[in-house]
Amino acid sequence: MKVLFLYPSKWGRGITPIWVASHTSLLRHHGHKVSYFDCTFFAEWTDNENETNTLRGQYKSSDYDFSELSSCSSLISSLEETISDFQPDIVMWSAISSHIHGEGEYVNLYYGLDILTQIKKPIHTNYVTGGIRVTAEYESVLSHPYIDYILIGDSEFPLLDLVNYLSQPLNRQKLPALLPPGVVSRKQQPIKQPRVKLSDLPPYDYTIFPDKAFKRPYNGVIYNAVDYELSRGCPYTCSYCVETAIQTYYGHTTSNKAGVLDGASEYLTAKSIENVLSEFSQFTQLNIEYIRYQDTNFLTVHRQLLLALADFYSTNYINLPFGYIETRPESITPSSVKLLKALKIDGVGMGIETSAESFRTDELHRFASQEKTIKAFELLRQAGIRRTSYNVIGFPNQTEEDILSTIAFNKQLNPDNITCAFYSPFVGTVSYNKSLHTLNALSFNESTIDPQIRSIVPDLSISPDKLKYYKDHFTSLCRS
């Protein structure tokens, strides 16, 4: 069978979506053919957020020239030509990985539909999609006439099962009595599949990506880079976080007083060290210099796996890529900093979100004290590891005073990099449900959400123009 992966990103720089690498390896391992169509580099399509954030001062200026890598060809014509040449049995876009927070993954479902509805659907091709939005509310997604099947939750094995089923000629013409777990059609309700064990997947295949997808600006320098996951899942239950929609799907809906998910050890999944080392060998062949670890919370990855990888680095240190991770301030300790240095971690991103502790606790269900945050940033500074603070404005019930105090807190922390994003209400989260009345008042169209690019204004007490001002000038205000 032939499967075409469509990646409808508008980010404006190279990306190697993790789900494409994981699904590619499994399908190829079982003898199926895979091709890849990346929308990122079509000038007519991409918003080039990389350039925008550089102008805002959130990214350091570099020689990365998107225009040199982009194409002036028609995106639609190019996709039609690819489909005509490859003749895929399935076109799939959007899936779950640890990349869920990055590069607008949440909105790729809609971007994919925007593109595919502009071409004539081949008679013998099935359109299949998955991902966060599908998992959170599959019925509304499946109502779209262009979608034949959806995959809920981790979709590597459900896709393989679907491909194997459709490979039988008689089955293509008749819906099965029972679709595989995790596969849903308009005629059948979902059967839940267990969380994937990443150790059961073959090493991810990054050879599917074109060379320009590896080019990435980081702190003013262009590197060959990959997006990567050691694990999947987060043990925390922040009320605004899209991760909670996946937790709910897998039956984890309660947490302790510290906001830690009950049964977190059953929800989290990690790769085997054997697979990790095989993937690192592949990175050597691809001349990868930099790894953007997309693990939702890097320092909650199984410690034995991190120590095993650190041991590998200790004997191969010079030839291995450095990396950037995301974690929580309370996980930064002298011992964890020592581990990060052993793993050649160059930068750490941590969510400040907002400086008001009571707001973080009561509204966001996020328990991270100012004291621990200050200590974390200082420990990393002393170790020579770059620090990035992630900030969000426009939360429901957030005041302008809170935004100003968050700016003041960033001045105190003095991070190496500062980013600011608008709050986006992810379907399936507690914050989304609280926001519904305001969103309805705004005639909110959720298909326009992009947590990295689009903006909505859930708190009408702060004008849209004022919120935009703080977003555009957040970094400069923190530096002044």
Q: Which CATH number does the domain housing residue 390 bear?
A: 3.30.750.200
175 and 249 belong to one structural domain = no
- State whether residue 346 is helix, strand or coil: strand
- DSSP symbol at 187: T
| pLDDT at position 174 over 80 | no
Task: Look up residue 153 and give its amino acid.
Answer: G
Calculate mean pLDDT across residues 337-342. Answer: 98
| pLDDT at position 94 over 70 | yes
Percent pLDDT > 70 in the chain is 92
Percent pLDDT > 90 in the chain is 68
Q: How confident is the model at residue 435 (pLDDT cuts 50, 70, 90)?
A: low
Which of 195, 218, 248 marks a domain boundary?
195
Estimate the share of the chain in helix, then strand, then coil, as percent rounded to the nearest 5: 40, 15, 40
| Res 188: pLDDT | 77
The whole model's pTM is what? 0.92
Q: What is the token pair recorded at 192?
A: 């839940």
User: Torsions phi, psi of 378, nearest 5?
Assistant: -70, -40
93 and 159 belong to one structural domain = yes
325 and 177 belong to one structural domain = no
| Res 291: pLDDT | 98
DSSP per-residue string spanning 30-93? TT-EEEEEE-TTBTTT---HHHHHHHTTSS---S--HHHH-B-S-HHHHHHHHHHHH--SEEEE
34 and 103 belong to one structural domain = yes
244 and 381 belong to one structural domain = yes
pLDDT in tens, 34-69: 999 999 999 999 988 888 889 988 889 999 999 899
Q: How confident is the model at residue 355 (pLDDT cuts 50, 70, 90)?
A: confident
| pLDDT at position 455 over 50 | no
For 286, other C-beta atoms within 10 Å of its C-beta total: 16
178 and 311 belong to one structural domain = no
Q: How confident is the model at residue 172 (pLDDT cuts 50, 70, 90)?
A: low
78 and 169 belong to one structural domain = yes
Instruction: Specify the range with the lowest mean pLDDT, choosing from 186-190, 216-220, 336-340, 447-451.
Output: 447-451
Calculate mean pLDDT across residues 351-380. Answer: 90
| Res 462: pLDDT | 74
| pLDDT at position 102 over 50 | yes
27 and 106 belong to one structural domain = yes
In a domain? residue 459: yes
- DSSP symbol at 196: P
In a domain? residue 312: yes
Length of the chain: 480
In a domain? residue 278: no
In a domain? residue 396: yes
Calculate mean pLDDT across residues 8-31. Answer: 95
Q: Which residues pair with 221 in a beta bridge?
A: 218
Name the more confident of 347 and 189. Answer: 347
| pLDDT at position 242 over 50 | yes
| Res 438: pLDDT | 54
Q: Mean pLDDT of all residues in the chain? A: 89
Pairwise CA distance, residues 429 & 432, whole Å: 5
| Res 103: pLDDT | 64
Instruction: Specify the range with the lowest mean pLDDT, choosing from 258-272, 313-327, 345-359, 428-442.
Output: 428-442
| pLDDT at position 451 over 60 | no
In a domain? residue 415: yes
Q: How confident is the model at residue 431 (pLDDT cuts 50, 70, 90)?
A: confident
Rounded (10°) CA dihedral 290, 111, 39, 452: -30
| Res 162: pLDDT | 95
| pLDDT at position 452 over 70 | no
354 and 240 belong to one structural domain = yes
| Res 168: pLDDT | 81
Instruction: Specify the range with the lowest mean pLDDT, choosing from 301-315, 420-434, 453-467.
Output: 453-467
In a domain? residue 364: yes
CATH value at residue 20: 3.40.50
In a domain? residue 263: yes
Calculate mean pLDDT across residues 212-224. Answer: 95
Task: Give the number of domains in the chain.
Answer: 2
188 and 336 belong to one structural domain = no
Which domain range does residue 98 map to? 2-195
Which of 195, 224, 258 marks a domain boundary?
195
Instruction: Specify the range with the lowest mean pLDDT, choosing from 294-303, 371-380, 443-452, 458-467.
Output: 443-452
- State whether residue 185 is helix, strand or coil: strand
Instruction: Specify the range with the lowest mean pLDDT, choosing from 34-48, 97-111, 314-328.
Output: 97-111
| pLDDT at position 169 over 80 | no
| Res 447: pLDDT | 46
| Res 441: pLDDT | 44
Which of 142, 175, 195 marks a domain boundary?
195
| Res 456: pLDDT | 44
247 and 118 belong to one structural domain = no
| pLDDT at position 239 over 50 | yes
125 and 249 belong to one structural domain = no
Sheet holding 215-218, edge to edge: 215-218, 221-228, 290-293, 322-327, 345-353, 386-393, 417-422
Q: How confident is the model at residue 177 (pLDDT cuts 50, 70, 90)?
A: low
Q: How confident is the model at residue 450 (pLDDT cuts 50, 70, 90)?
A: very low
In a domain? residue 38: yes
Calculate mean pLDDT across residues 160-175. Answer: 77
